[in-house]
Amino acid sequence: MEILKESKTIRTGPVLFSHYTRGEGVKKAIQLSREDILLEVKESKLKGRGGAGFPAATKWMIAAAAQSDEKYIICNADEGEPGTFKDRVLLMEYPELIFEGMVIAGYTIGASKGIVYLRGEYEYMLASLEDYLYVMRQDNLLGKNILGKDDFNFDISIRLGSGAYVCGEETALIESLEGNRGEARNRPPYPANTGFNGNPTVVNNVETLASIPHILIKGGEWYSKRGTDKSTGSKLFSVSGDCEKPGVYELPWGTSISELLSMVGAENAKAVQVGGASGICIPKGQFNRKLGYEDLPTGGSIMVFGENRDMLAVLKNFMEFFTEESCGQCTPCRIGNVKLLEGVEMIEKGNYTFKYINTLKELGQTMQLASKCGLGQSSPNSFISILDNFKDEIFHSNRSNGRSNGRRKN
Amino acid sequence: METKEEVRTPVSQQPYTVDVTEEVDGIGSKVSIEINDKKISVPLGMTILEACRENQIHIPTLCHHPDLCIAGTCRICVVELEGMHTLQTACSFPITSPLKLHTSTPMVRKARRHIVDLLLSEHYGECYSCVRNNNCELQSLAKEYGVDQYTFGHVTEPTFERDNSSPSVVRDMSKCVMCKRCVRTCIDLQEVGVLEAIDRGDQTHISTFQEKPLADVICINCGQCINRCPTGALHANDPSDDIWNAIDDTQKHVIIQTAPSPRAAIGEMFGQEPGTSYTGELNTALRRVGFDKVFDTNFTADLTIMEEGTELLLRLYKALVEKDGSMALPQFTSCSPGWVKYLEHFYPEYIDNLSSAKSPQQMFGTLIKTFYAKESGIDPKDIVTVALMPCAAKKFECNRPEMNDSGYKDVDYGLTTRELGQMIREAGIHLPEMSQSHFDQPFGDASGAGLIFGATGGVMEAAIRTVAELVTGVKAEDLFDNARVTPVRGFEGIRYLEIPIADVGPVPEILKDLIPDFEWLKGAVLKVAVAHGTANAKKIMEDIKAGGKFSECHFIEFMACPGGCLGGGGQPIPTNEEIRNKRANAIYTEEESLPVRKSHENENVTTLYDKFLTEGPCGHLSHKLLHTHYTKRGKYIA
Ligand SMILES: Cc1cc2nc3c(=O)[nH]c(=O)nc-3n(C[C@H](O)[C@H](O)[C@H](O)COP(=O)(O)O)c2cc1C
Ligand code: SF4
């Protein structure tokens, strides 16, 4: 755990890692109407930072429009995607941004309760986060009639997750909070309508919420000028793997892979996995591609693989992860991932046919289309992209392709 | 969402209901959609699956079951929606805005085929050696999608040990497709909660508390999970090999008693539409199979009414007249062994409320090995008693250690409708072609009151006909239109009825020794209730615990299975509301055609009291042979 606490963050950045005075965001918010805040967030074009990239303003508007006595703001701090550790830095060093983002969200959609779903492994932060909430209550940044605003009540509680990757998926997270098995729900209905205990619920990633106070203070327009047209603002990237300077970087969207690689000291990389285990793997030839929703979206995980990495071993590792971490409820994901993993093992042993590998790629497409939640929908990404992008390495090494001769088996 | 209190299943599992009524299109309004380029208009909130089915467009399903909440997990029902980049499950997708969908595109067909291939890759066993051969939803899907090879391989060794610890339900998880229909049945439909998914990823499987064998957990043996299992992963513990052996053993006198509801359902196993009774044909077929005698369980159903009805009057008399505070009221029926075990586990503090009368099955077993053995001069040790039941729990019941009042195991085997159907088939008999014949003497054909035991509310109706007539002296036919006690009929989860007793008659001969007069009942209001499915039973029990309206009842009928016995865990598969309705119709129609429709008018019953149980209902011998006791089990497992 000690290593985890030490973050090698590059701590300066244009937005999240810039200066912020505690309480300013909430102060600003309560002077505005709910509609004004929604407009501001809409103008910022902020998209969810948890991976799916759903426009934050749209989600908030649905929840704001929903009729209910009870609504919830849930901060998704499950940070389970392999290679992601940027939420950890925000939680450790900028809790004020996250919590105030939640307060503002609550004010905007009319919720009075916020819940932080904190990754089980981050339990060591619990005490300090609770202390922080205590101070916020003292300062009336939480509690009743916040900062004197009549009838604006909001409080935050922290709940610990217990280790399943799928519980980061928003509906599985809600099931988990309700005390059920962490399994994704059918959608529609969406949480913004029917979420925690059946109430309208906004689930946002830590980083999404942490961006809110800055957007309110500096304006949506200011925020939207950063990054690219469809990917506004800046983004935290957790860079790990074969590089000299791993860490969390705040960069504008639109940065290319090669720019990022030179920044982190990994010019010799052979491959970059963008978006964690569920993301896609980019070969050297495509390093000019840009990070952003237009081309390479990511929740922030960037894994760098050096010249000596065995890409099949990398793939196997990912597939083992999904085989284990599928919640197990739906057929394509529960069994499909096993089949993909078996395919990798066949290649490893040289005991495969190209026909079957192609069948598995088609199966991967079915999984992308027919799985119930994002886990199964994205788990074939690395299978397909690694086998496509690293064909030469994987299939033309001295592994035999196991051509069969049609003789009787014994 | 409905009121929040009613949400007992995870919200994800709830069928989606539209909650925004303020929109222009409120509940009850229509949405125009296009299915396969055909324009249709459907009610707002209807699922894609429902819309397709209403328009005769076939969508395959596996995890979907009409009795259960929506799961959306098998993914076989995926369809393509224009404008959405992933496929959507028809079973779970509510239509709330105009949309265009396609049910058979290359993408859809390929996905479905993959899903079937994946399920087959993990499904152990071959169809020809499976109880569900020809009645398996996975097999049907494989056929529908033209599976002619195992694209993703096929397991050749069982992946799980079979759990055959329970006398009622066998679990063979190597055949499980993880549809969780059993889980939803056990948790939502029955509110027992023995089965759940455990572990994660490829290790996920359905199991019990601490993976204990089914016999060691709080399973009530209702077998409703079996009826909803799409494959052979769950089936009943089948005694038919032993029964064939007994039939083939010339030393053995093998007797079968047949319960009312299998007759109304067994035709389904021979390709017949649900809703026809094959009582007479079944009698002939059973003799052809080799049973030496065929008795009608309705006879002991009539006897149950005499015993249980008398017990009720005695309880009321002692409580109201003799002011005996120890009399437990309301009295609960005890003929559903699933319900009995449910109560023993979940409400053990109420076991005194259970009628001590045995179930008709067990009464018959005892009588056969005592009264009948003596009458016919056959040594009871050579008699083998088989009970044809719609029920899985009856197998557990006949194995209860206390069920040997005859000096032998009263009922040797409980056989389900499904298992008997298979035996008949094996004997080369096509049931619907059989001629009709009667039940054997000395018990003969029973009353209609016994027959309606097969439907929820039937025991109550039979009891009301007899008790009301005996107490008031007025014919049941004059008290109720054609003796139909309609308020206790039907499939409403809980029914409640008050019967005012305006006047009383003289005490009939058979009760003379027990109760001096009925004056104390004059002007009283008899309050009764009926519940089917243990989820409904739970509602009543919680109400009683809280001192609510049901605690003031005098008599309550409980059946563990939805629909009562006709929807029992041993009945032909599939089951759903429509099928249960048709079976009920078959029973009530047959009932009205019978000459005797009240238990106390069954002459063979009166003869039995004259010749054998001479002290009358609830007399000493009755108590020894026809009554029993229960066990406080509780729900905590060691
Ligand atoms: C398998 C899986 C795991 C996920 N894990 C996380 C996570 O750890 N943290 C997170 O913020 N979002 C995670 N998500 C995304 C959430 O479902 C959801 O989209 C997100 O919390 C919404 O917040 P945003 O709109 O602010 O991004 C995960 C999604 C999937 C499918
Ligand atoms: S895709 Fe995987 S994780 Fe998601 S619901 Fe299906 S089995 Fe569970």
Residue B482 Cα to ligand 1 midpoint, Å, equals: 65
Q: Which atom of ligand 1 is nearest to the CA of A79?
A: 8
Consecutive H or E run containing A280? strand A280-283
Reading phi first (left if > 0) and then psi (alpha if -120 to 50, else beta), residue B512 is in alpha
User: What's the average model confidence in pLDDT over B19-41?
Assistant: 75
Q: How confident is the model at residue A332 (pLDDT cuts 50, 70, 90)?
A: very high
Average pLDDT of the residues of chain B = 94
With b meaning 16 or more CB within 10 Å and e meaning fewer, what string describes B363-387? Answer: bbbbbbbbbbbeeeebebeebbbbb
Q: Which atom of ligand 2 is nearest to the CA of A329?
A: 7
Does residue A191's CB lie within 6 angstroms of at least one atom of ligand 2? no
User: Helical H runs in A190-278?
Assistant: 206-218, 220-224, 257-264
Question: What is d(CA A60, CA A66) in angstroms, rounded to the nearest whole number?
Answer: 10
Give the CATH class of B118-236: alpha beta
Q: Which two tokens stand for residue B567?
A: 């929807």
Q: Check if B122 contacts A (Cβ < 8 Å).
A: yes
Give start-end residues of each CATH 3.10.20.600 domain in chain A: 234-305
pLDDT digits (tens, 9 = 90+) for A71-118: 999 999 999 999 999 999 999 999 999 999 999 999 999 999 999 999
Q: In the CATH scheme, what is the code of domain B240-293+379-432?
A: 3.40.50.1780
Quote the pLDDT of residue A17.
87
User: What's the average model confidence in pLDDT over A143-167?
Assistant: 95
The answer to whether the CB of B214 falls within 8 A of the CB of B226 is no
pLDDT digits (tens, 9 = 90+) for A194-220: 999 999 999 999 999 999 999 999 999
Give start-end residues of each CATH 3.40.50.11540 domain in chain A: 15-224
Q: List CB contacts of B171: < 8 A, sequence separation 6 or more.
A: B162, B163, B214, B233, B234
Does residue A385's CB lie within 6 angstroms of at least one atom of ligand 1? no
Residue A236 DSSP SS3: strand
Q: Which two tokens stand for residue B631?
A: 């066990």
The answer to whether the CB of A349 falls within 8 A of the CB of A378 is no
Q: How far, CA to CA in Å, does B256 sit from each of B169, B384, B594, B622?
A: 22, 8, 22, 22
Give the CATH class of B32-104: alpha beta
Q: Check if B121 contacts A (Cβ < 8 Å).
A: yes
State pTM to two decimals.
0.94
Q: How confident is the model at residue B637 (pLDDT cuts 50, 70, 90)?
A: confident
Active-site annotation of B, residues: 308, 311, 335, 355, 394, 397, 402, 565
The answer to whether the CB of A92 falls within 8 A of the CB of A59 is no
Q: Check if B97 contacts A (Cβ < 8 Å).
A: no
Quote the pLDDT of residue B169.
98
Protein fold of A15-224: Rossmann fold (3.40.50)
Question: Phi, psi (5° rounding) for residue A203?
Answer: -105, 120
pLDDT digits (tens, 9 = 90+) for B542-598: 999 999 999 999 999 999 999 999 999 999 999 999 999 999 999 999 999 999 999
Does residue A193's CB lie within 6 angstroms of at least one atom of ligand 2? no
Q: In the CATH scheme, what is the code of domain A311-396?
A: 1.20.1440.230
In a mutational test of the B interface, the residue from A178, A369, A373, A409 whose CB has the highest number of chain B CBs within 10 Å is A369
Quote the pLDDT of residue A10.
61
Quote the pLDDT of residue A409.
56
Question: What is d(CA B258, CA B243) in angstroms, rounded to the nearest whole number?
Answer: 15
Quote the pLDDT of residue B638.
72
Does residue A75's CB lie within 6 angstroms of at least one atom of ligand 2? no
Question: What is d(CA A98, CA A249) in angstroms, rounded to the nearest whole number?
Answer: 18
Q: What is the dihedral of CA B559, B561, B566, B571, to 10 degrees?
A: -140
Q: Check if A176 contacts B (Cβ < 8 Å).
A: no
A chain contacts of residue B70, beta-carbon cutoff 8 Å? 186
CA distance A180 to chain B (A): 7
Residue B557 DSSP SS3: strand
Q: Report whether the peptide linkage leading into residue B574 is cis, meaning its omega lies within 30 degrees of zero.
A: yes
Does residue A252's CB lie within 6 angstroms of at least one atom of ligand 1? no
CA distance B149 to chain A (A): 13
CA atoms within 13 A on the CB side of B325: 0
Q: What's the CA angle centered on B320, arms B317 and B324, to 5 degrees? A: 85
Consecutive H or E run containing A156? strand A155-160
Q: With 60 as the cut, is the pLDDT of residue B2 above it?
A: no
Quote the pLDDT of residue B409.
98
The answer to whether the CB of A163 falls within 8 A of the CB of A120 is yes
Cα–Cα nearest to B356, from B92, B139, B615, B628: B628
Give start-end residues of each CATH 3.30.70.20 domain in chain B: 118-236
Q: With 90 as the cut, is the pLDDT of residue B267 above it?
A: yes
Residue A373 Cα to ligand 2 midpoint, Å, equals: 5
User: What's the average model confidence in pLDDT over B174-197?
Assistant: 97
Quote the pLDDT of residue A150.
94
Task: Scan residues 298-357 of A and list those with Cβ closer than 8 Å to B.
Answer: 322-332, 334-339, 342
Q: Parallel, antiparallel, or unpaired: how do β-strands B525-532 and B555-559 relate?
A: parallel
The answer to whether the CB of B171 falls within 8 A of the CB of B162 is yes
pLDDT digits (tens, 9 = 90+) for B92-107: 999 999 999 999 999 9
Nearest CA to ligand 2 atom 1: A376
* Cα radius of gyration (chain A): 22
Question: What is d(CA B587, CA B477) in angstroms, rounded to the nearest whole number?
Answer: 19
Q: Which two tokens stand for residue A312?
A: 């099949």
B chain contacts of residue A184, beta-carbon cutoff 8 Å? 12
Residue A375 Cα to ligand 1 midpoint, Å, equals: 10
Reported for A364-369, long-range contacts at CB under 8 A and 24+ positions apart, including other chains, are: A364/A336, A364/A340, A365/B110, A366/A332, A366/A336, A366/B110, A366/B111, A366/B114, A366/B115, A367/A332, A367/A333, A367/A336, A367/A337, A368/B86, A369/B78, A369/B86, A369/B87, A369/B107, A369/B111
Quote the pLDDT of residue A15.
87
Q: Report whether the peptide linkage leading into residue A283 is cis, meaning its omega lies within 30 degrees of zero.
A: no
In the block, which residue shows the tokens 């964690």? A276
Q: What is the dihedral of CA B3, B5, B6, B9, to 10 degrees?
A: 120
Q: How confident is the model at residue A4 (pLDDT cuts 50, 70, 90)?
A: very low
Residue B455: CB atoms within 10 Å: 31
Q: How far, CA to CA in Å, does A346 sit from each of A341, A350, A393, B157?
A: 9, 6, 15, 20
Residue B441: CB atoms within 10 Å: 12
Quote the pLDDT of residue A400.
52
pLDDT digits (tens, 9 = 90+) for B342-359: 999 999 999 999 999 999
**Chain centre to alpha carbon of residue B219:** 15
Q: How far, CA to CA in Å, does B606 sit from each of A291, B467, B485?
A: 89, 16, 24
- Whether complex ipTM tops 0.90: yes
Task: Scan residues 139-198 of B and list those with Cβ closer than 8 Å to A.
Answer: 151-153, 177-178, 180, 196-197
What type of residue is A286? Q
Q: Parallel, antiparallel, or unpaired: how do β-strands A247-252 and A201-205 relate?
A: unpaired
Q: With 70 as the cut, is the pLDDT of residue B18 above it?
A: no
Question: What is d(CA B184, CA A61) in angstroms, rounded to the nearest whole number?
Answer: 35
Q: Which two tokens stand for residue B359?
A: 């179930």
From the options 3.65.10.10, 3.50.50.60, 3.40.50.80, 3.40.950.10, give the CATH code of B300-361+446-637.
3.40.950.10
Q: Parallel, antiparallel, or unpaired: how do β-strands B38-43 and A280-283 relate?
A: unpaired
Beta bridge partners of A283: A271
What type of residue is A409? K
Quote the pLDDT of residue A397.
61
Quote the pLDDT of residue A6.
47
Is CATH 3.10.20.600 correct for A234-305? yes
Residue A397: CB atoms within 10 Å: 12
Q: Which atom of ligand 2 is nearest to the CA of A327?
A: 8
User: Helical H runs in B317-369?
Assistant: 337-346, 360-367
In a mutational test of the A interface, the residue from B138, B200, B205, B207 whose CB has the highest number of chain A CBs within 10 Å is B200
Cα–Cα nearest to B173, from B183, B159, B186: B159
Q: How far, CA to CA in Å, does B245 sit from each of A270, A289, A312, B215, B454?
A: 72, 76, 59, 26, 29
The answer to whether the CB of B439 falls within 8 A of the CB of B296 is yes
Q: Parallel, antiparallel, or unpaired: how do β-strands B88-89 and B78-81 relate?
A: antiparallel
Q: Cβ contact (<8 Å) for A324 and B201?
A: yes
The answer to whether the CB of A339 falls within 8 A of the CB of A357 is no
